[in-house]
């Protein structure tokens, strides 16, 4: 190659595209691009007084480069066809060449490989790396690959994070386009994305190929990152977010301190794989005139005509980088994995030297103040007022019209059949559910209004959940310290000592440095209570605190709640444990039919319930009711229903017969024929599993008539043989007969 001067004051620039892979036209000698084509263009540029820029493209990209104006000329042995001439201009041929076929020659191959294995290997090594300083090509390629991969990884991660937030946005206007963009990107091969951005989007831009490659891979990687991040975030249970919100964290705080640290544990293994996949994908950048590691291998192969060694060398280098990335991310993963972290005190905390202050939550200043206030006769202070509360879900309306108020120091248990809105009511109180209508005033503020600072109210109104919802990524003591240090700005040491004191109170001080999944259900629930208490709440809501527990652990949690009740804590407790409800409460709400159906002291509700539904529920009664509206009633159907009722509750045959006799003799033979007018007769049969009592009641209007005394003698004698007791009353023109069978 002769020395050809460059134009000194060039008038313009000529950019040529070439492959760099075709000796003797365009090829690399060491790091220098050379060959007939290159020499010709250098002479041409000098003649035209132009500056020459040479871009090296893969075959697949070179025509697009010319068509899009990225290069002015292509220097390569292209054949002129009619159809091609429609798209680009060809010069007249400047050189005619002989072209050959390549034939596999086993003899020649054998001769070439006649040395020992080691000799062959060292010869290949010399050709690939040493000759013409080709290692420099590999090194430069490697640096380019690393630059593209790591910068794309960096920007892609940031972009992916943003994209994930857009996808998760509640506003359709944002989430739908973001989702559509991801789908579009996922549906297009990466090579097409790269070529499209380079040759179409940035066709006329002077932005270099490497920044464009970084942009393209950042976008490709961002889509992958947003997907795995989204999956990671979704894998953090809703309960964790609710627990955080109930402590008083805002959405950002919940995301940063609760959701993200847990999501990242799920995300990292996938992230690592995606990153390695993206690194390998960067090998397509040769299409847009970038000499990366793969391209360096191509260039060397085109010179040596030896495929094996350069390919192995490239493969080994890619493998080593991938392994290094996997290792590095793996280390981060290990560092974050709660179970592998050493059990240390939280950062910035010292084991207190003075013996921990006496256990008991009374020691907490706010609780103390609260008790004093209670002592000062302020027990009547109203903390919560609920008016016309209604909650509608698409398929259910659990709350229709709830009205009540809660005063300081009250312990209210909410009981009732499943699905009657007990949990919904509790969750409306701290706005984990948004009421459809009505108002809820807590500490004098209407929490249904949008401008009310919910978090301030939640900080003073703790909530304990059925499924505990401890933060899985934090130790027990960190779980308790999280909200006081971040939300109440309590100094760490103080928060720690308070946490240990609370843990002692619930009997779990020795578990301070364990993680939640190392505790039993009962222990977790006691920690959850301690976590709530650490905020010094004025009210605590308990949503079925013992339902998820083994029967053996129910007692330990109930005892903690009993202790709190004894200290005067205001509490609302949804529970199915009737004995507990009776012992612990000052007031009970029986919920049914979308309202607080009956409200009273435990004694009133359990001993003298005013309404039938309440009675049936608290006495755990099985009930069968029907109404007879005249003499034409279907006697057979009713006898059958009674029989089925008896069978369903596994009553002995004698009692099943007694049911039918009682109905037949009392109602059919006496009450109905003796009515002066046609009145409705209500018949209800109640069976209590608890006490094994079977009762039948008959209620009808009209004149006073006691069938047990005035009825047909034989029939009454017959039925009396089956009865244990019969009580007749007549009040407000209503006859009522209750027989026990
Ligand atoms: P309870 O605590 O008395 O068993 P809940 O308050 O849990 O009852 O539920 C009352 C009713 O509201 C049920 O029918 C339930 O299916 C429905 N419900 C509760 N939460 C939701 C929700 N998030 N979306 C739709 N329906 C719900």
Q: What would the DSSP string read from start to end of 480-545? A: HHHHHHHHS---HHHHHHHHHHHHHHTT-GGGTTS-GGGS-HHHHHHHHHHHHHTT--SEEEEEST
Identify the pLDDT of residue 14: 94
Residues enclosing ligand 1, CB less than 6 A? 393, 395-396, 398, 418-424
Write the pLDDT tens digit of every residue in 123-166: 888 888 888 888 999 999 999 999 999 999 999 999 999 999 99
Compute the distance between CA of residue 250 and CA of residue 521 in angstroms, rounded to an integer.
Answer: 28
The ligand 1 atom at the shortest distance from the C-alpha of residue 425 is 6
CA of 562 to the centre of ligand 1 (A): 27
Cα angle: 295, vertex 297, 300; to 5 degrees: 110
Find the mean pLDDT for residues 281-309.
88
Identify the pLDDT of residue 363: 42
Find the mean pLDDT for residues 197-216.
91
- 243 or 628: which leads in pLDDT: 243
Identify the pLDDT of residue 732: 87
Compute the distance between CA of residue 707 and CA of residue 672 in angstroms, rounded to an integer.
Answer: 10
Identify the pLDDT of residue 313: 87
The chain-wide mean pLDDT, for the chain, equals 89
Compute the distance between CA of residue 284 and CA of residue 184 in angstroms, rounded to an integer.
Answer: 20
Identify the pLDDT of residue 373: 45
pLDDT bucket at 364, cuts 50 / 70 / 90 = very low
Mutate which of 391, 392, 393, 548 for ligand 1? The one with the most ligand atoms within 8 Å of its CB, which is 393
CB atoms within 10 A of CB 357: 13
CA of 417 to the centre of ligand 1 (A): 12
Structure tokens at 171: 């506003």
Residue 94: pLDDT above 50?
A: yes
Write the pLDDT tens digit of every residue in 488-520: 999 999 999 999 999 998 989 899 999 999 999
CB atoms within 10 A of CB 460: 16
CA of 396 to the centre of ligand 1 (A): 7
Q: Closest Cα partner for 248 from 487, 541, 489? A: 487
CA of 123 to the centre of ligand 1 (A): 77
Identify the pLDDT of residue 110: 64
Mutate which of 238, 400, 421 for ligand 1? The one with the most ligand atoms within 8 Å of its CB, which is 421
DSSP per-residue string spanning 218-232: HHHHHHHHHHHHHHH
Cα angle: 592, vertex 595, 599; to 5 degrees: 85
Residue nearest to atom 6 of ligand 1 (CA): 421
Identify the pLDDT of residue 109: 64
CA of 429 to the centre of ligand 1 (A): 15
Give first-to-last CA distance, the chain, whole Å.
118
Identify the pLDDT of residue 369: 45
Residue whose entry in the numeric block shows the structure tokens 């009515």: 675
Identify the pLDDT of residue 352: 66
The ligand 1 atom at the shortest distance from the C-alpha of residue 591 is 3
Compute the distance between CA of residue 600 and CA of residue 503 in angstroms, rounded to an integer.
Answer: 34
Q: Could you give the 3-state DSSP secondary structure of residue 639?
A: helix
Cis omega (within 30 of 0) for bond into 24 = yes
What pTM, to 2 d.p., does this model score? 0.75
CA of 492 to the centre of ligand 1 (A): 39
């Amino acid at each position: 190659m002769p020395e050809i001067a460059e134009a000194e004051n060039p008038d313009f620039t000529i950019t040529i595209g070439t492959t760099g892979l075709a000796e003797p036209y365009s090829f690399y000698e060491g790091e220098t691009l050379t060959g007939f084509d290159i020499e010709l263009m250098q002479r041409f540029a000098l003649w035209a007084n132009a500056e020459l820029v040479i871009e090296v493209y893969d075959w697949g990209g070179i025509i697009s480069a010319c068509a899009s104006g990225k290069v002015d000329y292509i220097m390569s042995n292209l054949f002129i066809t009619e159809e091609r001439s429609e798209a680009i201009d060809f010069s007249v041929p400047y050189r005619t060449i002989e072209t050959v076929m390549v034939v596999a020659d086993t003899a020649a191959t054998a001769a070439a490989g006649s040395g020992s294995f080691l000799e062959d290997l060292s010869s290949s090594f010399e050709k690939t790396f040493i000759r013409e300083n080709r290692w420099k090509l590999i090194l430069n390629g490697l640096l380019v690959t690393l630059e593209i991969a790591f910068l794309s990884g960096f920007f892609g991660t940031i972009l992916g994070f943003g994209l994930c937030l857009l996808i998760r946005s509640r506003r359709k206007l944002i989430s739908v386009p973001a989702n559509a963009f991801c789908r579009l990107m996922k549906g297009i091969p990466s090579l097409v994305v790269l070529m499209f951005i380079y040759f179409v989007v940035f066709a006329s831009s002077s932005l270099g190929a490497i920044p464009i490659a970084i942009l393209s891979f950042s976008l490709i990687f961002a889509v992958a990152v947003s997907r795995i991040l989204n999956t990671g975030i979704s894998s953090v249970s809703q309960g964790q977010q609710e627990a955080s919100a109930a402590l008083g964290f805002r959405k950002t705080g919940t995301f940063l301190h609760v959701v993200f640290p847990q999501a990242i544990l799920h995300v990292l293994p996938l992230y690592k794989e995606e990153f390695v996949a993206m690194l390998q994908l960067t090998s397509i950048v040769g299409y847009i005139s970038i000499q990366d590691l793969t391209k360096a291998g191509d260039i060397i192969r085109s010179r040596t005509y030896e495929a094996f060694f350069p390919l192995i060398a490239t493969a080994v280098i890619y493998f080593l980088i991938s392994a290094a990335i996997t290792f590095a991310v793996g280390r981060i993963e290990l560092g974050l994995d709660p179970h592998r972290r050493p059990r240390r005190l939280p950062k910035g905390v010292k084991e207190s030297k003075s013996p921990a202050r006496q256990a008991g939550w009374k020691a907490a200043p706010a609780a103390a103040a609260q008790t004093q206030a209670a002592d000062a006769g302020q027990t009547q202070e109203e903390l919560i007022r609920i008016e016309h509360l209604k909650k509608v879900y698409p398929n259910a309306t659990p709350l229709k019209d709830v009205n009540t108020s809660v005063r300081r120091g009250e312990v209210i248990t909410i009981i009732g059949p499943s699905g009657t809105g007990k949990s919904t009511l509790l969750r409306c109180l701290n706005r984990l559910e948004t009421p459809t209508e009505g108002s809820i005033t807590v500490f004098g503020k209407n929490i249904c209004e949008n401008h009310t600072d919910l978090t301030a109210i939640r900080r003073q109104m703790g909530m304990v959940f059925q499924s505990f919802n401890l933060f899985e990524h934090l130790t027990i003591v960190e779980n308790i310290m999280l909200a006081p240090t971040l939300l109440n700005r309590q100094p760490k040491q103080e928060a720690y000592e308070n946490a240990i004191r609370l843990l002692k109170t619930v009997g779990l001080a020795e578990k301070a440095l364990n993680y939640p999944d190392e505790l039993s259900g009962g222990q977790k629930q006691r920690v959850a209570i301690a976590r709530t208490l650490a905020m010094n709440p004025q009210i605590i809501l308990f949503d079925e605190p013992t339902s998820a527990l083994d029967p053996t652990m129910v007692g330990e949690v109930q005892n903690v709640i009993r202790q709190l009740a004894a200290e005067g804590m205001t509490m609302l407790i949804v529970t199915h444990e009737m004995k507990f409800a009776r012992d612990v409460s000052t007031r009970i709400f029986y919920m049914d039919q979308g309202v607080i159906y009956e409200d009273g002291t435990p004694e009133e509700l359990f001993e003298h319930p005013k309404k039938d539904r309440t009675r049936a529920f608290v006495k755990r009664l099985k009930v069968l009711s029907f109404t007879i509206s005249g003499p034409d009633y279907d006697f057979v159907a009713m006898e059958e229903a009674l029989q089925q009722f008896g069978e369903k509750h596994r009553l002995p045959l004698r009692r099943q017969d007694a049911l039918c006799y009682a109905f037949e003799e009392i109602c059919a033979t006496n009450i109905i024929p003796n009515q002066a007018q046609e009145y409705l007769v209500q018949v209800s049969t109640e069976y209590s599993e608890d006490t094994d009592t079977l009762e039948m009641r008959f209620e009808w209007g009209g004149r006073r008539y006691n069938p047990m005394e005035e009825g047909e003698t034989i029939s009454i004698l017959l039925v009396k043989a089956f009865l244990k007791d019969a009580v007749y009353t007549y009040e407000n023109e209503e006859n009522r007969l209750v027989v026990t069978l």
